[in-house]
Amino acid sequence: MPKSPKSAALPERYVRLFRNGRNQALRIPREFELDAEQAIVRKDGERLIVEPVRQRSLLALLASLEPLDDVFPDVDEGLSPLDDVTI
């Protein structure tokens, strides 16, 4: 049976599990390193799935916000650009 392109790109590695205090841990081999500071771990049956937590950009955050329907007063109304100038 031919391997799928996804499995061919990611070779399998056997790793040892060890104890770190009360936690079970494993060392992630270099070829599987995640480009992130944090990860999310979840269990799917007998599988553990580890996904990197990506930092969202400010633009992505702003794009996800709902627009405001509030009417804001015009703060510049009645002011001249020279009103703030002091001599």
pLDDT digits (tens, 9 = 90+) for 21-74: 999 999 999 999 998 889 999 999 999 999 999 877 888 888 889 988 888 887
Phi and psi based region of residue 47 (left: phi greater than 0; alpha: psi -120 to 50; beta: remaining): beta
Which has more pLDDT, 1 or 61? Answer: 61
Tokens 């009103």 identify what position? 83
Distance CA 59, CA 70 (A): 22
Tens digit of each residue's pLDDT (9 = 90 or more) over 13-26: 899 999 999 999 99
Letter for the amino acid at 32?
Answer: F
- CA distance readout (Å), 37 to 20, 45, 58, 68, 70: 19, 26, 18, 33, 38
Its pTM stands at 0.49
pLDDT the model gives residue 7: 45
Whether 27 and 14 have beta carbons less than 8 Å apart is answered as no
